[in-house]
Amino acid sequence: MQVVEIGPLERDAWNNFITSTSRPSILQSYEWGEFKSRFGWQPLRLMIKEGSEIRGVISILIRRVPLLKRTIFYAPRGPIIDFEEEEVFETLLEALSQKASEKRGIFLKIDPEIEEDNERVKEIILGNGFRACSSQVQPRCTFLIDLDQDEDELLKGFKSKTRYNIRLAERKGVKVEEAHSEEDVERFYKMLQETGARDKFLLHSIEYYQGIWELLRARDMASLFLAHYRGEMIAASLIFKFGDWCWYMYGASSYHHREVMPNQAIHWYIMRKMKEEGYKTYDLWGIPCNPQPDHPLWGVYRFKAGFRGRLVKFIGAYDLPFSPLYRCWNGLETTYKTARGLLFKGTAVDSLRE
């Protein structure tokens, strides 16, 4: 068994392995590493092979910490591996230790899509030196919509209020279409800025969303959908696609004409469109794990709960320290997140709040 670093020539083998699994996360795709390399991250892709058979992969994003002259490793939604094949996992960790030494790594953070009740995998991860993290990078909880069913059955599965709002939007004349120009990305970003100012969450730069359009959308791994009412764009959703899964990660809406329910209309359109294109699962992305009426994202939770997807909770994030500096980093990260939380109430990070 060996661990090899792969490059562009192995792109298809890499992606084909991931999409053959039950959890084909786009954040572990070859293209996601390419995309993030535009914004200060260096991708490192390691493949575990036994002969010609691929036993697992991990795509790591590496970022340099200038003041410390060290690096941090992060594998979003990775690794993609059968953790219970402990020999494979241990072989991977040996290779990672060597890479961390070469690149002066402080720690590796992972947050694999392993469901919360899998105690065996949690034991294996902790038994190999990882530490459970109280804070998350990716949302730990989500709703999954099964698109592999009859359209009428899919609609019947929604809560009655959601079905009513979808029909209301249709009666009022809300129209949804897929975006096809870079100008639409700019319009989406302006609306995202409006939404962020209203709901007080942090945004990426416009270059981030333009990068999604230029790289991922060009490879049919992302789509932008726009909802119009009386000729005015009033809502938009950016989704990602990989394998037979699709994910809703970014949405924006106007303060005006909310009464015509464009958000329900846009998601219903996306579900039908993705179903038509052969996708099987629609991941609604982040929700509070323990939703309460006083949670800043209670409204987001109620909206997504209206589609009655399967509630999934993952095991969360784990760190593998490589250096004693890990303790310093942990303290700095906690201080930063606390300060940001005081400045931005109701931010996107609230989807990570338990």
3-state secondary structure the chain: CEEEECCHHHHHHHHHHHHCCCCCCHHHCHHHHHHHHHHCCEEEEEEEEECCEEEEEEEEEEEEECCCCEEEEEECCCCEECCCCHHHHHHHHHHHHHHHHHCCEEEEEECCCCECCCHHHHHHHHHCCCEECCCCCCCCEEEEEECCCCHHHHHHCCCHHHHHHHHHHHHHCCEEEECCCHHHHHHHHHHHHHHHHHHCCCCCCHHHHHHHHHHHHHHCCEEEEEEEECCEEEEEEEEEEECCEEEEEEEEECCCCHHHCHHHHHHHHHHHHHHHCCCCEEECCCCCCCCCCCCCCHHHHHHHHCCCCEEEEECCCEEEECCCCHHHHHHHHHHHHHHHHHHCCCCHHHHHCC
Q: 175: how many CB neighbours lie within 10 A of its CB?
A: 15
Q: How many Cα atoms sit within 13 Å of 98 on the Cβ side?
A: 9
Please report, to the nearest 10 degrees, the dihedral formed by the alpha carbons of residues 65, 33, 36, 145 taken in order: -120
Beta bridge partners of 176: 227
Q: Are strands 53-65 and 80-81 parallel, antiparallel or unpaired?
A: antiparallel
Residue 334 has a pLDDT of 54
Give the pLDDT confidence of 126-166 residue by residue, as tens digits: 999 999 998 899 999 999 999 999 999 999 999 999 999 99
Give the residue carrying structure tokens 């119009």. Answer: 228
Q: Tell me the domains of the chain and their CATH numbers.
A: 2-138+314-352 (3.40.630.30), 142-311 (3.40.630.30)
* Spatial contact of 92 and 126, defined as CB atoms under 8 Å apart: no
Per residue, the 3-state secondary structure of 196-225, as one string, reads HHHHCCCCCCHHHHHHHHHHHHHHCCEEEE
What is the pLDDT, as a whole number, of residue 348?
46
pLDDT computed for residue 128 by the predictor: 97
Is residue 158 within 8 A of residue 322, CB to CB? The reply is: no
| CA distance between the termini of the chain | 39
Regions of the chain where pLDDT drops below 50: 335-336, 338-351
Asked if residue 234 lies in contact with residue 228, where contact means CB atoms within 8 angstroms, the answer is: yes
- The pLDDT of residue 353 is 57
* 8 A C-beta contact, residue 172 and residue 260: yes
Q: Which pLDDT belongs to residue 333?
A: 60
Beta bridge partners of residue 64, listed in sequence order: 71
Confidence (pLDDT) at 336: 46
What pLDDT score was predicted for residue 49? 97
Q: Which residues of 209-240 are buried (b: 16+ CB within 10 A; e: fewer)?
A: bbbbbebbbeeebbbbbbbbbeeebbbbbbbb
Tokens for 280? 């099987």
